[in-house]
Chain A
Amino acid sequence: MSQNKRVASQNRRSQLVLDEDDEGSLTQPSVSQVQRARENFTPVQVDRKVAEVVQFILIKDQKKIPIRRPDIVKHVIKEYRTLYQDIMKRVDRTFEQVFGLKLVEIDSKNHIYILTNKLEQSREEPISMCPANPKTGLLFVILGVIFMKGGSVKETLVWNTLKKLRVDVGEKHEEFGDGKKIITDEFVRQKYLEYVRIPHTEPLEYEFRWGQRAESEVSKLKMLQFIAELHDQEPQSWTQQYREATSAENNPR
Chain B
Amino acid sequence: MSRPMGDSHKRFLQTMMSNGIISSVQAKALHRHCCETHGAHFSPDRLEEFIDVINTNLQPMFMHIRKGTSEEDGAQHYALVNMAETDITRMSSDYADNELELFRKTMDLILDSENGTASSTDLLNCADRLQTKKMKKKETEHVLNKFVQDKWLNEKQGEYTLSTRCIIEMEQYIRTVYQDLIRLCHVCQNIVLQGQICENPECGIKMHYHCVARYFKGRTDPHCPSCSDFWAHEIPEIQPESQNQSSSARDVAAPTPSTSATRRSRRS
CB distance from B145 to the nearest CB of A (A): 14
Asked whether, in the complex, the Cβ of A98 is within 8 Å of the Cβ of B33, the reply is no
A206 to B37, CA, bound (A): 41
Contact of B5 among A54, A58, A97 (CB under 8 A): A97
Could you list which residues of chain A lie within 8 angstroms of chain B, going by C-beta atoms?
4, 47, 50-52, 54-55, 58-59, 62-64, 94, 97-101, 117-133, 135-136, 139, 175, 186, 190, 217
Given pairs A59-B93, A125-B15, A130-B268, 17 additional interface contacts (CB within 8 A): A54-B61, A64-B262, A97-B5, A100-B5, A117-B264, A119-B7, A119-B10, A121-B268, A124-B33, A124-B37, A129-B22, A129-B252, A131-B19, A131-B253, A131-B256, A136-B265, A190-B262
Contact of A51 among B26, B84, B259 (CB under 8 A): B84
Contacts of A97 in B (CB 8 A): 4-5, 57
CB distance from A65 to the nearest CB of B (A): 10
Q: Which residues 1-39 of B have a CB within 8 angstroms of A?
A: 4-5, 7, 10-11, 13-15, 17-19, 22, 26, 29-30, 33, 37
Contacts of B17 in A (CB 8 A): 58, 62, 99
Contact of A131 among B14, B18, B33, B96 (CB under 8 A): B18
Contact of B29 among A119, A122, A126, A136 (CB under 8 A): A126
Asked whether, in the complex, the Cβ of B262 is within 8 Å of the Cβ of A55, the reply is no
In chain A, what residue has the closest Cβ to B82?
A: A55
Asked whether, in the complex, the Cβ of A117 is within 8 Å of the Cβ of B14, the reply is yes
In chain A, what residue has the closest Cβ to B11?
A: A119
**B266 in the interface, Cβ–Cβ < 8 Å?**
yes
Q: Can you list 26 contacts pairing A with B, beta carbon distance less than 8 Å?
A: A47-B60, A51-B62, A51-B84, A55-B61, A55-B84, A62-B263, A99-B10, A99-B17, A117-B14, A122-B11, A122-B33, A124-B33, A125-B33, A127-B253, A128-B29, A129-B19, A129-B22, A129-B33, A129-B252, A129-B268, A130-B15, A133-B265, A133-B266, A135-B261, A135-B266, A139-B266
Asked whether, in the complex, the Cβ of B249 is within 8 Å of the Cβ of A62, the reply is no
**How many residue pairs at the A-B interface have CB separations less than 8 Å?**
120
Contacts of A126 in B (CB 8 A): 26, 29-30, 33
Contacts of A100 in B (CB 8 A): 5, 7, 10-11, 13-14
Asked whether, in the complex, the Cβ of B57 is within 8 Å of the Cβ of A98, the reply is yes
Contact of B259 among A52, A62, A120, A131 (CB under 8 A): A62
Could you list which residues of chain B lie within 8 angstroms of chain A, going by C-beta atoms?
4-5, 7, 10-11, 13-15, 17-19, 22, 26, 29-30, 33, 37, 57-58, 60-63, 82, 84, 93, 96, 249, 252-256, 259-268
Contacts of A122 in B (CB 8 A): 11, 33, 37
Instruction: Give the 6 A-B CB pairs with smallest separation, nearest first.
Output: A100-B10, A130-B268, A136-B266, A128-B249, A130-B265, A133-B265
CB distance from A160 to the nearest CB of B (A): 24
CB distance from B50 to the nearest CB of A (A): 15
A118 to B14, CA, bound (A): 11
Asked whether, in the complex, the Cβ of A133 is within 8 Å of the Cβ of B256, the reply is yes
